[in-house]
Amino acid sequence: MTARAVATRPSPAPVRVPAVASTAIKDILSGNPLPATVLGTSGHAAWLLAGERVVVVTTRDATRLPNGVEIAGAGASRPFDRIPHGSRAIIGGDRIVVGILEIDIARWWNPRPVLPAVTGESMHAALRGLPAMVDDLDHSMLERSLVRRSAIELIEAVGRLLGSGPGLTPEADDYIAGALAATRIVGEAMDDRESTEMLDAAAPTIRSMATDRTTTFSAALIGHAVDGRVAAPAAALLRAIAGRGDIGAAHRIVLQIGHSSGPALAAGMVLGARSLIEEVVSTEVLHDLAS
């Protein structure tokens, strides 16, 4: 019997695409090549784990994340469909190779917004009417810790909320991330050194707790938030809080992030900003009651 040759299907040709990447992950993207593992994919994103670092590759019509690499293609092209969970990738040398995708970093963006100097009075007017609470989440301890600028109380408050709610980024985690990021960035714009010192003292413990108590992706975003690095729509909202942009429009865009993340993230940002001006708010309330 004569053996028949078995035809093999040729491997798909590599697809090279340019991308814009966050400077928050420039060290790992530009460093020596490292192996990474695909944590999961969707129509618009692929989540990669390199060591303890999470890198998210997204299409240009997805939310630009603080730990993200945004490729030129749109989600309709389904670029991540052939990349299974657990598959290998390589990150480094200003490129990512994952599946058939060869992603070249063409330029960078900074996920840490710089705000102009801002006063409590102007912020109070900007924040008026925006919700700072999320249904079914007790925000009282988190708000109290931020108002008091207490690192110990902040750690306890975050510990009680971490991981609560469904999703890749649980609702409580989005709320925490928004509050921490706003406290960091707006606090710096107000030259509030006590809030900066509080976050610096609490940050290592918050990162450690997040690693143990919530999803890998969510823990990464919280770690970026406590240093003031946020998704692009959140950065626009922070700038609007400081008077640079339409706050209503910026708030509506943040509400649309993810399936359920946006409202919690936006409420947390409002909570963090309002907590920095609690004395201004209290003074106005007393004035209103007296008049």
Q: Is residue 288 part of a domain?
A: no
User: Do residues 100 and 133 share a domain?
Assistant: no
Q: Is residue 6 part of a domain?
A: no
- Distance, first Cα to last Cα, the chain: 103
User: Do residues 27 and 153 share a domain?
Assistant: no
Residues 6+ apart with CB under 8 A from 108: 20, 21, 22, 23, 26
User: Do residues 99 and 223 share a domain?
Assistant: no
Q: Which residue, 109, 135, 159, sits at the end of a domain?
A: 109
Q: Residue 136 CA to chain centroid, in angstroms?
A: 22
User: Do residues 268 and 195 share a domain?
Assistant: yes
Q: Is residue 2 part of a domain?
A: no
Q: How many domains does the chain have?
A: 2
Q: Which residue, 85, 109, 133, sits at the end of a domain?
A: 109
Q: What pLDDT sits at residue 258?
A: 85
User: Do residues 129 and 270 share a domain?
Assistant: yes
Q: What pLDDT sits at residue 283?
A: 38
User: Do residues 38 and 147 share a domain?
Assistant: no
Amino acid, single-letter form, for residue 286:
L
**CATH code of residue 47:** 2.40.50
Q: Is residue 7 part of a domain?
A: no
Question: Which token pair is 190?
Answer: 């107000």
Q: Which residue, 67, 83, 109, sits at the end of a domain?
A: 109
Q: Is residue 68 part of a domain?
A: yes
Q: Is residue 190 part of a domain?
A: yes
The residue segments making up the domain with residue 161 are 120-283
User: Do residues 29 and 139 share a domain?
Assistant: no
Q: Is residue 93 part of a domain?
A: yes
Q: What pLDDT sits at residue 14?
A: 82
Q: What pLDDT sits at residue 9?
A: 56
User: Do residues 134 and 39 share a domain?
Assistant: no
User: Do residues 276 and 144 share a domain?
Assistant: yes
Q: What pLDDT sits at residue 285?
A: 37
Q: What pLDDT sits at residue 39?
A: 94
User: Do residues 255 and 226 share a domain?
Assistant: yes
Q: What pLDDT sits at residue 289?
A: 32
User: Do residues 54 and 88 share a domain?
Assistant: yes
Helices (H), ranges, the chain:
26-30, 120-127, 140-148, 151-161, 171-189, 193-213, 216-225, 232-241, 247-255, 261-276, 278-290
β-pairing, 34-41 with 15-22?
A: unpaired
Q: What pLDDT sits at residue 52?
A: 92
Residues 6+ apart with CB under 8 A from 200: none
User: Do residues 158 and 216 share a domain?
Assistant: yes
Q: Is residue 224 part of a domain?
A: yes
Residue stretches of the chain with pLDDT short of 50: 1, 280-291
